[in-house]
Amino acid sequence: MLYSVPDYYNRFKCIADQCEDTCCAGWEIMIDPKTLQKYKNVKGGFGNCLQNSIDFHRGSFKQYNHRCAFLNDDKLCDIHAELGSAMLCDTCRKYPRHMEEYEGVRDLSLSMSCPEVARIILSYGDRVRFLTKEKESESEPFEGFDFLLYTKLSDARNCIIGTLQNRTLDVKLRAAICFALTHDIQNRINNQEYSTMERLINRYKADKVVDHIIHKLQSYQCKEEERFKIIQKQFSLLFRLEVLRTEWTDATRSAFHELYGDGVKKYLTNRKHFLAYMSQNEELGIPYEIMLEQLYVYFVYTYFAGSIYDENAYGKMKLAVISLLIIQELCQARWQGKGSLNFGDIVDIAHKYSREVEHSDNNLKKMEKLFGKKKEFYFEKILIALLS
Ligand code: SF4
């Protein structure tokens, strides 16, 4: 089995009661069958308490005020304290570690929904490298796994990540080039022209071709007023999604009002000042551009290869681009409200976005569906939102 991890993977350590959020709030935590059985066998007073606080029908921990029944006032886990880490269920033991599995390959990552992970990702100044290691482990047979397509998608992902990390280009241009590449890849997938994908990927690596693409992308620039209409619609996507915590609805509604409530002129002036402020913001400790690069790389690494299962590589790239556009809008709204924006604000925004959007399979599915249907997510509209 080949394992792949981002090079910051081992930096993560749960900060438990020091955490400003907690992974035990807001989510229904599902318990794996093996642990559920272990919980049934715990005796004594804590055993009673444990069994009374589990919904055995659903196989999850009960919640009180949207908090796991075992999350105590010190923001620590009672099961961990009473029975030790070996008695935690799979979800609690592994979170925020995440795994995507393919035939013979496991991609490990850290979920940005944990604020500590968001801090690691956003403070990472170097280009992220992905380390691979062969390890003996059982591999599930994957019926009908298309290994040829997986190889092509894997090559495409490497090319996209390489382009996203090309710091000689503006980050929005890097994202636009990758977006165009994925659009072309999707056409090849739809027509089952896998044999031409390699040539396509190599073309996107050639400097001459990249210059030509950059030239073509110029037609999507300087359309600020059109962008204003598009970005509002793209932002409104959040109002169509399942909400895990009610404060998220309040935060996104007030951000929408803050950004767009005073009309196009005011928005454009604010945006200009915001971008100028961010390009010189030394409080961040790391350039804003690099933070955006790390976020793009995070989304592409986590989701792109998963298109082997639904053949929707374009949808995965749209998820990355739209997520980044919305996160940047939320940053601008926070800056408008506060008059400043520091590293902690960006961590807060990115991890809450991830918690609400990435941790709901319903939301991820709904987004991909809307990306295919709504005009604001068409190729040209997304390029205008990225480049203007
Ligand atoms: S969100 Fe992350 S840092 Fe916070 S308690 Fe959970 S795993 Fe630990």
Q: Whose CA is nearest to atom 2 of ligand 1?
A: 114
Q: Is the C-beta atom of 17 inside 6 A of ligand 1?
A: no
Q: Give 172's pLDDT tier (boundaries 50, 70, 90).
A: very high
Q: Whose CA is nearest to atom 7 of ligand 1?
A: 14
Question: Cis peptide leading into 96, omega within 30 of 0?
Answer: yes
List the domain boundaries for the chain: 2-12+95-134, 24-94, 150-387
| Residue 189 Cα to ligand 1 middle (Å) | 39
- Ligand 1, atom nearest to 95 Cα: 7
DSSP class per residue in 173-203: HHHHHHHHHHHHHHHHHHTT-GGGHHHHHHH
Contact 116, 15 (CB under 8 A): yes
Tokens encoding 166: 């090309």
Q: Whose CA is nearest to atom 6 of ligand 1?
A: 23
Backbone angles phi, psi at 333, to 5 degrees: -60, -40
Pick from 79, 13, 117, 63: nearest CA to 244: 63
Which tens digit of pLDDT belongs to each residue from 260-289?
Answer: 999 999 999 999 999 999 999 988 999 999
Q: What percentage of the chain exceeds 90 in pLDDT? A: 86
Q: What is the mean pLDDT of residues 304-318?
A: 97
Pocket residue to mutate for ligand 1, from 116, 352, 355, most atoms within 8 A of Cβ: 116
Q: What is the mean pLDDT of residues 160-184?
A: 96
Full-model pTM: 0.94
Q: Whose CA is nearest to atom 8 of ligand 1?
A: 14
Q: Is the C-beta atom of 110 inside 6 A of ligand 1?
A: no
Q: Please give the Cα distance from 285 to 282 (Å, whole number).
A: 6
Pick from 92, 91, 109, 90: nearest CA to 100: 109
Contact 214, 173 (CB under 8 A): yes
> From edge to edge, which strands make up the β-sheet containing 97-102?
97-102, 105-110, 2-6, 130-134
Q: Is the C-beta atom of 14 inside 6 A of ligand 1?
A: yes
Sign of CA dihedral 303, 306, 308, 311: negative
Q: Give 356's pLDDT tier (boundaries 50, 70, 90).
A: very high
Query: Where does the chain show beta strands of DSSP type E?
Result: 2-6, 54-55, 60-61, 63-64, 67-68, 97-102, 105-110, 130-134
Phi-psi category of residue 44: left, alpha or beta, with phi > 0 → left and psi -120 to 50 → alpha: left
Residue 21 has pLDDT above 90, yes or no: no
Q: Is the C-beta atom of 94 inside 6 A of ligand 1?
A: no
Pocket residue to mutate for ligand 1, from 67, 114, 120, most atoms within 8 A of Cβ: 114
The secondary structure of residue 145, as a DSSP letter, is: -
Which tens digit of pLDDT belongs to each residue from 28-57?
Answer: 899 999 999 999 999 999 999 999 999 999
Highest mean pLDDT: which range of 78-82, 107-111, 358-362: 107-111
Q: Give 139's pLDDT tier (boundaries 50, 70, 90).
A: confident
Contact 379, 187 (CB under 8 A): no
Tokens encoding 11: 């930096």
pLDDT at 74: 86
Give the mean pLDDT of the chain.
94
Pick from 117, 124, 201: nearest CA to 158: 201
| Residue 13 Cα to ligand 1 middle (Å) | 8
Contact 203, 192 (CB under 8 A): no
Question: What Cα–Cα distance (Å) separates residue 55 from each residue in 28, 33, 46, 52, 58?
Answer: 10, 13, 16, 8, 6
Q: Please give the Cα distance from 343 to 11 (Å, whole number).
A: 18
Q: Is 107 helix (H, G, I), strand (E, B) or coil?
A: strand
Q: Give 134's pLDDT tier (boundaries 50, 70, 90).
A: very high
Residue 346 has pLDDT above 80, yes or no: yes
Pick from 213, 119, 231, 223: nearest CA to 169: 213
Q: Is the C-beta atom of 23 inside 6 A of ligand 1?
A: yes
Residue 23 has pLDDT above 90, yes or no: no
Q: What is the largest CA-CA distance in the chain?
A: 72
Question: In this predicted structure, which of 61-75, 93-107, 134-148, 350-364 has the lowest mean pLDDT?
Answer: 134-148
Tokens encoding 257: 């009002």
Sign of CA dihedral 356, 294, 114, 17: negative
pLDDT at 314: 98
Residue 26 has pLDDT above 80, yes or no: no
Q: Which residues pair with 110 in a beta bridge?
A: 97
Tokens encoding 202: 């190599």
